[in-house]
Structure 1
Amino acid sequence: MEVRRAVQLTGGSSFTVTLPKEWVERMGLSKGSQVIIRPAEDGGLYIYPDKPSSRRPSSVEIALTEDLSQLLVGAYLYGYDTIKIVSKTPITDTWLEVIRRVVRGLAGAEIVDEADESVEVQIVLDEQTVAPEKLLRRQYNLVMGMVEYAVNSVLMDDSSLARVAVTRDEEVDRLYFTLVRVLRSALVDPALAKRLNTSPLSLLDIRVAAKFIEDAGDQAAEMAKEKLRNKKPMSDDVKQEFRNIAKIVLSTGFDPIEAFFSHEITLVNRVTGLRTEFMKRSEEFLRKVSGRGETASLYKLHFHLARVCEDLADVAELSLPIKPYVARQT
């Protein structure tokens, strides 16, 4: 709904604009109701009722098909509170285990009813109590731990470390799904965004950053899986070169996520500089592994590590445009 209103001057000093009747009725407002007006980053204004969100619990039915896992996750991310899975025939134990596995990966989701031909999932997550920044930082911390485990599993020839990295990927996915659900809810509910002390633009940036971080976690998990598939140790010279490039990635530390939230150009430059250094040092690693028997596996390890490096730099660069520094005016 888009309407155009003329600005009126009342009382000689106050400017007023009338609110659309349809919106007022939908929000349950009347004479004397309070509304919140907040400037938007694009120069506009946000207007919403000064009361808790009245978003009603929503439900959806999805059919049991081969795409069930994706449909169940999609319904969760979309913000539905109740998800009912229905089948034309009795649901088998195999399908029940698939449903339970997916539900275990969704924060706040619980199976509340099981019948022969249906399963009902209830989401009891309170978005108002979930701070997007804390979730994103937690996700980042887990992913950097995964990268370290994956790298050390290769350098120390330790499969147990690789298994830890793979297992942690499930927790990263769980955090990512939770964050996306909260962000979507806040984007369609300005009052929720206000209580979370954030803006739509910030929510979009966090959504993109979360995807980069989630991808870095996936790459770390793939690196660990490659180690589990190929248990042949690296030669000393190749291992040293891999250590050199891995050290560059790990040395980014928390700078990418701090750059994202602080908009400090010095942090952005440091992270992007490390990416450039990684690309240069990679040439030596790729030269050493060329023509060896295990070349394919070594190339895969490098590919996944390079993706991690790129993802971390992308997170830092999301802080652009950099916080403005105004020169002294005379």
Structure 2
Amino acid sequence: MTKFVRRLQRIGSSILVSLPKEWIDANNLDKSSQVELETGQDSISISANKDTRPTKELVISYPLPKEENIVADLTGAYLLGYDIIQINSKSIIPGEDREKIRNSMRRLVGMEIIEEDSSHINMQFLLDATTLNPEKILKRMSSIALGMYDDASNGLISDDKSNLKTISKRDVEVNRQYFLLVRLIRSTLVDTRLSHAFNLENIDVLDYRVAANLLENAGDSIVDISNSIYNSSLSKELSKKLHEVVRDFNKLAEKSIDAFIKADRLLAIEAISLHKQYEEKLVLLRSSLDKKKQIPIDFFDLVYMFEGIAQYWADLADLVKPIYNQEIK
């Protein structure tokens, strides 16, 4: 980003500032063009008033260098907001790599293969970003993860644990929504059209990035705990004790996500209080069994993992800005 310094000038009753010629030329503006102004408390930004932003295109030459990975390259291009991605090769693209490319498309919401032949694959993002809603995407991530949590915790007392092996498949959808949200967040930082559509300031965009990462990590942790429960040999008595503590988790998590989306500090305080109660119950359970003999290490590992999962939603509530009393002058 290039910085320019300009001195304010008074002409008649107006204060004017000149715009850099380089920026005017780069955006094909002239004296009749309109620009958009966005003001902050101590800042102002000016952007070319264009109805649509230019399409971002990327061409990937194939085969890739040995140190590169086609799936990682496609995911990176998606997250950077490219609308059209072309893979061009001077020879036939092997079937194995084609399958990797197709599988990667399943992970990227809105990105579809629109043209393909033996040596070329063209992909395009088919969704209008302005019609998407970061709040709904974040809530969807939380909702899917909470469904996974419920099934994982119920696995503690269920005789049939086969459902635990399906939880990782649902985490794939959490990851899909995560990639989509990160794409939107990055695009919003460089496209004022999107920041206006979503009504998000830069600080809000950064908070959404943190929140998305928390929920993506929560999904991964729930997969880990479901695998641990599946392979655990805990007694029914211990499993039941743990389940009684961790089963009532949704209220805490739902208050956390609602507090974040609504920027409601009072809701956040309620969520943080519920998290403390949840932690206290786990600590009490653990301390009540610490001195007993023959308590398997698996039990304490599970307690620790449940604590970690709850912390992700508690951290989400912590992102809500505190209410400050204004100083009386």
TM-score (norm 1): 0.86
Q: Aligned partners of 1:17 and 1:158: how far apart in 2?
A: 72
Q: Which moved more, 1:268-277 or 1:165-174?
A: 268-277
What's 2:3 paired with?
2
Q: Are the aligned partners of 2:189 and 2:195 in contact in 1 as well (CA < 8 Å)? A: yes
What's 1:311 paired with?
312
Q: Aligned partners of 1:301 and 1:57: how far apart in 2?
A: 46
1:44 aligns with 2:43: yes
Q: Which moved more, 1:177-186 or 1:241-250?
A: 241-250
Q: Aligned partners of 1:259 and 1:26: how far apart in 2?
A: 42
Return closer, same or farther for 1:9/1:267 CA change in 2, 3 Å cut-off: same
What's 1:102 paired with?
104
Return closer, same or farther for 1:114/1:45 CA change in 2, 3 Å cut-off: same
What's 2:121 paired with?
119
Q: Which runs of 5+ in 2 are unaligned?
A: none
Question: Aligned runs of 1:59-208 on 2, under 5 Å?
Answer: 59-61=58-60, 63-64=63-64, 67-85=69-87, 90-208=92-210
> What code does the residue aligned with 1:35 have?
V
1:53 aligns with 2:52: yes
> What code does the residue aligned with 2:306 have?
L
Q: What is the root-mean-square deviation of aligned Cα atoms in Å? A: 2.7
Return closer, same or farther for 1:86/1:28 CA change in 2, 3 Å cut-off: closer
What's 2:223 paired with?
221
Q: Aligned partners of 2:247 and 2:101: how far apart in 1?
A: 40
Q: Secondary structure at the match of 1:251?
A: helix
Deviation at 1:164, TM superposition (A): 4.2
Q: Are the aligned partners of 1:53 and 1:192 in contact in 2 as well (CA < 8 Å)? A: no
Q: Are the aligned partners of 1:238 and 1:285 in contact in 2 as well (CA < 8 Å)? A: no
Q: Which moved more, 1:162-171 or 1:102-111?
A: 162-171
What's 1:279 paired with?
279
Question: Aligned runs of 1:17-28 on 2, under 5 Å?
Answer: 17-28=17-28
What's 2:33 paired with?
33
Residue by residue over 1:146-187, the C-alpha shift from the partner in whole angstroms, topping out at 9 and shown as x without a partner, is 211211122324424324432211111111111111111111
Among the aligned pairs, what percent are the same residue?
30
Return closer, same or farther for 1:32/1:89 CA change in 2, 3 Å cut-off: closer
Q: Aligned partners of 2:178 and 2:110: how far apart in 1?
A: 13
Residue by residue over 1:183-241, the C-alpha shift from the partner in whole angstroms, topping out at 9 and shown as x without a partner, is 1111111222223322222111111111111111111122222233x164x42431233
Q: Are the aligned partners of 1:49 and 1:191 in contact in 2 as well (CA < 8 Å)? A: no
Deviation at 1:86, TM superposition (A): 5.6
Q: Are the aligned partners of 1:169 and 1:221 in contact in 2 as well (CA < 8 Å)? A: yes
What's 1:263 paired with?
263
Deviation at 1:84, TM superposition (A): 3.5
Q: Aligned partners of 1:33 and 1:117: how far apart in 2?
A: 43
Q: Which moved more, 1:145-154 or 1:175-184?
A: 145-154
Return closer, same or farther for 1:113/1:302 CA change in 2, 3 Å cut-off: farther
Q: Which moved more, 1:80-89 or 1:234-243?
A: 80-89
Q: Are the aligned partners of 2:114 and 2:123 in contact in 1 as well (CA < 8 Å)? A: yes
Q: Are the aligned partners of 1:106 and 1:174 in contact in 2 as well (CA < 8 Å)? A: yes
Q: Aligned partners of 2:269 and 2:203: how far apart in 1?
A: 23
Return closer, same or farther for 1:150/1:23 CA change in 2, 3 Å cut-off: same
Aligned length: 323
Return closer, same or farther for 1:293/1:84 CA change in 2, 3 Å cut-off: farther
Q: Secondary structure at the match of 2:3?
A: coil
Return closer, same or farther for 1:83/1:304 CA change in 2, 3 Å cut-off: farther
TM-score (norm 2): 0.86
Deviation at 1:121, TM superposition (A): 2.6
Q: Secondary structure at the match of 1:252?
A: helix
Return closer, same or farther for 1:291/1:243 CA change in 2, 3 Å cut-off: same
Deviation at 1:313, TM superposition (A): 0.7
Q: Secondary structure at the match of 2:146?
A: helix
Q: Aligned partners of 1:159 and 1:120: how far apart in 2?
A: 43
Q: Are the aligned partners of 1:5 and 1:18 in contact in 2 as well (CA < 8 Å)? A: yes
Return closer, same or farther for 1:154/1:70 CA change in 2, 3 Å cut-off: farther
